[in-house]
Amino acid sequence: MKQHGKSGQGTQAEQRGHGVQTSEDAGKLYVVATPIGNLGDISARALAVLAQADLVAAEDTRTTGHLLAHHGIAAKLIALHEHNEMQRAAELVARIKAGKTIALVSDAGTPGISDPGALLVARARQAGVTVCPIPGANAAVAAMSAAGLSAPHFLFYGFLPVKSAARRAALEALRELPYALVFYEAPHRVTECVDALAAILGGEREIVIARELTKLFEAIHSCRLDQAGAWLAADANRQRGEFVLIVSGAPAEASAGLPDEAERVLRLLLAELPLKQSVALCAAITGARKNELYARALELRD
Ligand code: SAM
């Protein structure tokens, strides 16, 4: 850890409780969230960590160099991206074990979230290195916070597969979940993706299209899923920039939709037997899925 000011006293930021500690902190890996657009969206603690780290491991050293320069920080940078993470992880862990402090950043938002970083973190943890997250911007959470969906739960999916058969299979596996689904998508695929969402998840669901969050052309639009394609097509600007797509969860009926026979048998059994036994017998008699029967049995019991 670079020392600023008198040894052991820390910088002004540290004394205010914002920053990192001094010597006893040597040999840690900090996972530092950076802005997803607006360069002001970075915490005082993140800036202190970046200023004092011996090395900043960055997905793209130019992008991070720009951010650091904006905040007046001169740091030593090293590239760590999806193509070299495997080799570089071992080297960086060795440096941390030798007492150096490394800050890991990605191009935007939180490292390891649809971004490189998880491998270095895993290697560091395996080697007994302390890993400290420095939380901050994340596009999915920012979009969720401004979506206004009354969803108590959401599932972060990130990027769907690019090929249509694989994307269809992924969406079919998500179709019945009663949770809001959060996707990342690139601008050149957003229309195709929205069409697939409508076709596979059902056009009556709500979608929130969050574009260019925290940037000049930030826009958040919600509509029925089957209207989203036309809305995007109505103005080419609507297909530009970075996107988070949030789709409301499967309606309750869809997730509780047992076949009639399974529903009838389950009700009969529940009237006579304990819940677990009823579920097991009903699964054996009707071939319905145990987890679906179990969820339905809980509903009926309540
Ligand atoms: N690690 C990042 C995070 O914490 O959100 C995500 C990185 S991922 C490689 C990039 C994707 O995140 C973009 O393609 C887009 O789907 C989403 N994203 C990033 N910044 C965004 C923004 N300002 N507005 C909307 N979506 C954004």
Residue among 57, 66, 39, 50 at smallest CA distance from 4: 50
- The whole-number pLDDT of residue 173 equals 96
- Tokens 């054996």 belong to 284
Nearest in space to 54 (alpha carbons), one of 8, 118, 98: 98
Answer whether 80 contacts ligand 1 (Cβ < 6 A): no
Q: What is the pLDDT of residue 125?
A: 97
pLDDT for 26: 54
d(CA 197, CA 170): 11
Contact 255, 265 (CB under 8 A): no
DSSP 302: -
158 Cα–ligand 1 center, Å: 9
**Spatial CA neighbour of 111 closest among 27, 187, 36:** 36
179 Cα–ligand 1 center, Å: 21
CA distance 99 to 23: 10
Q: Is 34 in the pocket of ligand 1 (CB under 6 A)?
A: no
CA 41 to ligand 1 centroid distance, Å: 14
For ligand 1, atom 13: residue with the closest CA = 242
156 lines ligand 1 (CB under 6 A): no
CA pair distance 229, 2, nearest whole angstrom: 52
List pLDDT tens digits, range 20-37: 544 454 599 999 999 999
Q: Find the 108 Cα to ligand 1 centroid distance in Å.
A: 7
- For residue 297 and ligand 1, the question of a CB distance below 6 A is answered with no
Taking the mean position of all CA atoms in its chain, how far away is CA 297? Answer: 32
Residue 14: pLDDT above 80? no
Name the average pLDDT for the chain.
90
pLDDT number for residue 301:
83
Nearest atom, ligand 1, residue 210 CA: 25
pLDDT in tens, 160-182: 999 999 999 999 999 999 999 99
Supply the DSSP string of 226-287, one letter for each residue. HHHHHHHHT-GGGG-S-EEEEEPPPPHHHHT---HHHHHHHHHHHHHS-HHHHHHHHHHHH-
Beta carbon of 43 within 6 Å of any ligand 1 atom: no
Task: Look at residue 252 in the predicted model and tell me its pLDDT.
Answer: 72
Q: Is the CB of 49 under 6 A from ligand 1?
A: no
* CB 83, CB 34: distance < 8 Å: no
SS3 90: helix
Closest alpha carbon to 249 in 226, 220, 225, 227: 225
Contact yes or no for 256/296 (Cβ under 8 A): yes
Output the pLDDT for position 2.
65
Phi then psi for residue 216, to 5 deg, are: -55, -45
Average pLDDT over residues 101-115: 97
The protein residue with its alpha carbon nearest to ligand 1, atom 2, reads 109
Give dist(CA 85, CA 92) in Å, integer. Answer: 10
The SS3 call for residue 222 is strand
Instruction: Please tell me the distance between residue 297's alpha carbon and the centre of ligand 1 in angstroms.
Output: 40
Q: Is pLDDT of 16 > 50?
A: no
- Predicted confidence at residue 223, as pLDDT, reads 97
CA–CA distance, 115 with 2 (Å, rounded to integer): 27
- pLDDT > 50? residue 264: yes
What is residue 261's predicted lDDT score, i.e. its pLDDT? 86
Position 4 scores a pLDDT of 47
* Percentage of residues in the chain having pLDDT higher than 90: 81
Per-residue pLDDT at 118 exceeds 80: yes
Atom of ligand 1 nearest to the CA of 215: 23
CB 96 near ligand 1, within 6 Å: no
Expressed in angstroms and rounded, the spacing between residue 109 Cα and the centre of ligand 1 is 7
pLDDT in tens, 132-160: 999 999 999 999 999 999 878 999 999 99
Query: Which residue out of 104, 114, 156, 218 has the highest number of ligand 1 atoms within 8 Å of its CB and is therefore the one to mutate?
Result: 114
pLDDT band at 12 (very low <50, low <70, confident <90, very high): very low
pLDDT for residue 76: 97
Cα(212) to centroid(ligand 1), Å: 9
List the 180-185 sheet strands across, edge first.
Answer: 154-159, 180-185, 243-247, 206-211, 219-224
